[in-house]
């Protein structure tokens, strides 16, 4: 068996715990080595540091290794629309491909580490390794469907349903990483939550307080415990398995 990472003995896609939910998902061992050769791992981002900004020349997509990143765009009148929160194992930056410049800004919500994947290298690799191409098509398609879920949420659901859905989504993404499904720290501010869900800070705060009083969750600042996951799912109006 070959050395899993030829240029960095500490970290590699081959030994990354996130591999199962990140890029290498569908790859053969030697293809993972090829991926490893193009992935660049820089210094960590400090809280509030930008990974890239709206309008920057598009060069790379990024896999989040640790921490949390928010993607947002500014509206004409300077308001912030958060388009997504990205947790370890998730890929950010695919919106930049179409115009060769990023359509969103990406900012660290806490100290975070990312793996940079230069897109032209990824394109090359994709022509050589069909399963790589397939996997990347799937990742982009996944981004489309998750955006469409958010569209539905914004279009049809009440403030309570939106916030319950967000909590459930974070819980599910935690579970994928083998972390607690019921207890976690929200890396984003209430304002960010509002800007994501199309609500004001006040409404976010009120709904969270209400969930707390109702015994659905226990909140202390950013620490959240989901006390009644089934109850929350009922509030969110989602089928029990999602």
Partner DNA sequence: CGCCTGGTTGAGAATCATCAACATCTGTGG
Partner DNA sequence: CCACAGATGTTGATGATTCTCAACCAGGCG
Considering only residues 66-105, where is the footprint of a second copy by CB under 8 A? 73, 75-77, 79, 81, 83, 94-99, 103-104
Token readout for 167 is: 């909590």
* Residue ranges in 156-175 that form contacts with DNA under rule CB under 7 A: 158-160
Number of residues that bind a second copy (CB under 8 A): 46
Which residue in 22, 27, 63, 204 binds DNA (CB under 7 A)?
Answer: 204
Q: Which of 28, 30, 123, 230 binds a second copy (CB under 8 A)?
A: 123
Residue 233 bridge partners (DSSP): none
**How far apart, in whole angstroms, are the C-alpha atoms of residue 239 and residue 242?**
6
Phi-psi region of 78 (alpha: psi -120 to 50; beta: other; left: phi over 0): left
Task: Please identify which residue in 11, 38, 113, 140 interacts with a second copy, judged by CB under 8 A.
Answer: 140
Rg (CA), the chain: 19
How many other CB atoms sit within 10 Å of the CB of residue 94? 19
Distance CA 227, CA 135 (A): 36
Q: Which stretch binds a second copy (CB under 8 A): 26-34, 38-46, 151-159, 168-176?
A: 151-159
Of positions 15, 152, 158, 209, contacts a second copy by CB under 8 A: 152
Report the C-alpha gap between 108 and 71 in whole angstroms.
9
Chosen from DNA, a second copy, none, partner binding at 239 (C-beta under 5 to 8 Å by type)? a second copy
| Listed residue (149, 132, 134, 168) closest to 32, CA to CA | 132
State the binding partner of 203 from a second copy, DNA, none, CB within 5 to 8 A by kind: DNA
Phi/psi of residue 60, nearest 5 degrees: -145, 155
Q: Which is nearer to DNA, 76 or 130 (CB)?
A: 76
Q: What's the rounded Cα separation, in Å, for the pair 3 and 130?
A: 23
What is the closest distance, in whole angstroms, from the C-beta atom of residue 193 to DNA in the complex? 8
Footprint of a second copy (CB under 8 A)? 73, 75-77, 79, 81, 83, 94-99, 103-104, 123, 126-128, 130, 133-134, 136-145, 147-148, 150-152, 154-156, 195, 197-198, 237-239
């Amino acid at each position: 068996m070959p050395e899993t990472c030829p240029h960095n003995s500490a970290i590699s896609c081959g030994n990354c715990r996130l591999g199962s939910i990140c890029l290498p998902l569908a790859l053969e061992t030697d293809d993972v080595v090829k991926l490893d050769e193009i992935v660049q791992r820089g210094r960590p981002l400090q809280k509030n540091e930008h990974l890239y900004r709206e309008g920057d020349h598009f060069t790379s997509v990024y896999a989040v290794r640790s921490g949390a990143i928010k993607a947002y765009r500014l509206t004409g009148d300077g308001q912030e629309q958060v388009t997504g929160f990205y947790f370890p194992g998730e890929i950010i930056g695919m919106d930049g491909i179409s115009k060769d410049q990023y359509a969103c800004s990406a900012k660290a919500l806490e100290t975070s580490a990312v793996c940079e994947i230069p897109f032209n290298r990824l394109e090359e690799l994709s022509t050589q390794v069909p399963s790589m191409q397939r996997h990347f098509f799937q990742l982009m398609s996944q981004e489309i469907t998750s955006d469409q879920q958010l569209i539905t949420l914004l279009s049809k659901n009440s403030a309570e349903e939106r916030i319950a859905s967000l909590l459930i989504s974070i819980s599910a993404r935690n579970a994928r990483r083998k972390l607690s499904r019921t207890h976690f720290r929200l890396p984003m501010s209430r304002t960010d939550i509002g800007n994501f869900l199309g609500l004001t800070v006040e409404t976010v705060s009120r709904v969270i307080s209400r969930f707390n009083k109702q015994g659905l969750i226990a909140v202390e600042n950013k620490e959240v415990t989901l006390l009644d996951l089934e109850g929350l799912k009922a509030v969110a109006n989602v089928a029990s398995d999602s």
